[in-house]
Structure 1
Amino acid sequence: MNERGEPAPERTSTSGRDALPEEQQKILASTIRFQWVSIVVLVVSILAVAIVAGSSQAMKVAWLEDSMSLLPPIAFLVAARRIRKPSSREFPYGHHRSIGVAHVVAAASLLAMGAFLVIDSTMTLVKVERPPVGLIVLFGHGIWAGWLMIGVMVVTSIPPVFIGRRKMKLAESLHDKVLYADADMNKANWTSALATIIGVLGIGVGLWWADSIAAIVVSISILHDGVKNLRASIGGLTDGRARTFDGKEPHPLTEKVEEVARSTAWVADAVGRVRDEGHVFHVEMFVVPVEGAVVTGQHCEDLRTALSEVEWKIHDVVIAPVAEIPAEQAFRAD
């Protein structure tokens, strides 16, 4: 309450973007622009595939896969806008975890669509539905429509490969798992295109079932992406061990901050609890003072500063002096 008896205004801190150093802020701004470019490329590809898809099951699945590829970049853009909001009493940790929420949304959508397409493509195979691919007139000449399908698949599969490689570098620089999932899908686009081309060629040589088999292969690829990313995203939101941007290994920063804490003169032992908040980490460091040491607020503040300076991703640090490491935290990095 203020001196007039009115509620005091809610205090806020810097936004999630402000938590990033200048270099990462520039990379984030560049990534946002690049995501808009990639969305435009995807929309053009989706329209091109839709025009020539015909009744081919493989082409239908390829079109749906391209459509689903829009989800990660859109989720990224929404999350990037969300993290601009500063932390407050209502959201004391800020909005960094919008990245994790976006990851879950994109992964769950991929999983659901992958499962649906596997079932749909399998039913098409079981029902022995033979896709007709006839002739079309182009520039006054009749050509097999399959050649047009194959040409479109070849052309539309090339840009995502290069886009994916670019996004992968940006994902590592930002420690952004949504961007990584997006890049991983883009990089693997050529495998789906190849399966689709084989399916269409199968129709051309009389192997009607090749189309459905190719569709199932592409559907399983979508399903795999969904399962992998959903597992990683849920692990992050449920405070699993902080891992690298690709989720393959425990993040080395956990060990680094513990080493810095243990090397402090007044600290006998220390164990950290590192939480991945999205682009940045939240660290709770349990420290056991050396016998006879008098721990002051300045000691804790100096240690907080030292840990924050280990790397830019260490954004929020809490120092908890304890008589002994709590049993539930008495572990060491593998």
Structure 2
Amino acid sequence: MSADRRRFGHTELPARQEDALRAAIRIEWATLVFLAVTIALVYLVLGNSQAMKAAWIEDLLSLAPPIAFLVAARIVQRAPNRERPYGYHRSVGVGHLVAGVALFAMGAYLVIDSISGLISGEHPPIGSVELFGEVIWLGWLMMGVMALTIPLPIYFGRRKMALARELHDKVLFADADMNKADWQTAVGSIVGVAGIGVGLWWADSAAALFIASSIVWDGTKNLRGAVRDLMDSRARTFDDGEPLPVEDRIIDTLRARRWIADVGVRLRDQGHVLHAEVFVVPRRNRLTLDDLIEARDECIALDWKIADAVIVPVDELPEEVGGAPRDRQSERNR
């Protein structure tokens, strides 16, 4: 193995995933630069608009996923050791959890703040500023700045979504989801500020409530996914849409071996890579070490994400991997 190849722990990435990782790192740095500029510009035209304040806070929160990804991308490269026998891949899940908590907490605060503004009937004033010798309504600057922040998040989100699928990276997927929320937030802010301009005082608070609800929804989704993974729930695709197809591929591949009567698989999602526990019911009582080694190697060769596999010969499959319920197993044993 060449020393300059990218790794996830002791897993050397195939060329396609290595290119995807390099691209993901580049685009996350570009995202941070874009967000730094956006945060500064939005702050300069913030005024008293609740929608603009919510959009600015969301831009600040948008820093969390790319930072979490870049930190995790470095940490997961460390090889497993005695203290960390499964490697450092859980750092991805920790970053995912931190981002989810931050989004949910701040979103909940903004929801309460926006609702209180609607109930109290606040009429946020938007004044005028002098620019190049001309006095102009600040709302035009607000809407102009927010319009400028729409195109890049659309591009970033689509690109990151494709890379997240390639790398099986849920933090990158969460960031792509945040980019979608970013441009929708910009549109909502423009509507809110324009509403104030035409005399609809409640439009600003309503837009802020829409933005805050979007933040809460993103936080809830990320929290749910992060907790699922940290509790070793059934391994699912990068978007939590369905169980990983590689589980069925392992079962079909090993069932084709003559000495195996039945197979059950338990996959542990470590972050980018998987640890597979494969339970096999042998047709014969005597197994050789070569049988088990060949079965293990065949599992690992199926997908680059399978970092290691353990083959466990059993007389009956455990219930959690498709075996009979335990009470029925106990009856048969008696």
* Fold conserved between structures, TM > 0.5: yes
- TM-score w.r.t. the length of structure 1 is 0.92
Rounded Cα–Cα distance in structure 1 between residues aligned with 2:93 and 2:135: 51
Counterpart in the other structure of 1:9: none
Counterpart in the other structure of 1:224: 217
1:21 aligns with 2:19: no
After superposition, the CA RMSD in angstroms is: 1.5
- TM-score w.r.t. the length of structure 2 is 0.92
Correspondence 1:239-278 to 2 at 5 A:
239-278=232-271
Q: Deviations over 1:148-205 (max 9, x none)?
A: 1000000012211111111111111100000000011102322211111111011111
Shift of residue 18, structure 1, vs aligned partner: 4.3
Counterpart in the other structure of 1:155: 148
The farther-off stretch of 210-219 and 249-258 is: 249-258
Shift of residue 246, structure 1, vs aligned partner: 0.8
Quick one: percent identity of the two aligned structures?
51
Whether the aligned pair in 2 keeps the contact of 1:15 and 1:94 (CA below 8 Å) is no
Aligned residues: 318
The farther-off stretch of 61-70 and 135-144 is: 135-144
Shift of residue 302, structure 1, vs aligned partner: 0.4
SS in 1 for 2:125: coil
Whether the aligned pair in 2 keeps the contact of 1:287 and 1:319 (CA below 8 Å) is yes
Shift of residue 143, structure 1, vs aligned partner: 1.3
Whether the aligned pair in 2 keeps the contact of 1:162 and 1:187 (CA below 8 Å) is no
Residue number among 265, 287, 290 corresponding to 2:280 in the alignment:
287
The farther-off stretch of 87-96 and 186-195 is: 186-195
SS in 2 for 1:188: helix
Rounded Cα–Cα distance in structure 2 between residues aligned with 1:32 and 1:215: 32
Distance change (3 Å), C-alpha of 1:264 and 1:279: same
The farther-off stretch of 184-193 and 101-110 is: 184-193
1:72 aligns with 2:58: no
Shift of residue 241, structure 1, vs aligned partner: 1.0
Counterpart in the other structure of 2:30: 37
Rounded Cα–Cα distance in structure 2 between residues aligned with 1:248 and 1:138: 50
Rounded Cα–Cα distance in structure 1 between residues aligned with 2:299 and 2:137: 65
Whether the aligned pair in 1 keeps the contact of 2:65 and 2:99 (CA below 8 Å) is yes
- Residue type of the partner of 2:319? A
Rounded Cα–Cα distance in structure 2 between residues aligned with 1:185 and 1:30: 18
Shift of residue 27, structure 1, vs aligned partner: 2.1
Rounded Cα–Cα distance in structure 1 between residues aligned with 2:299 and 2:22: 27
Counterpart in the other structure of 2:327: none
Whether the aligned pair in 2 keeps the contact of 1:15 and 1:87 (CA below 8 Å) is no
Counterpart in the other structure of 1:60: 53
Q: 5+ unaligned residues in a row in structure 2: which ranges?
A: 1-5, 325-334
Q: 5+ unaligned residues in a row in structure 1: which ranges?
A: 1-13
SS in 2 for 1:53: coil
1:113 aligns with 2:133: no
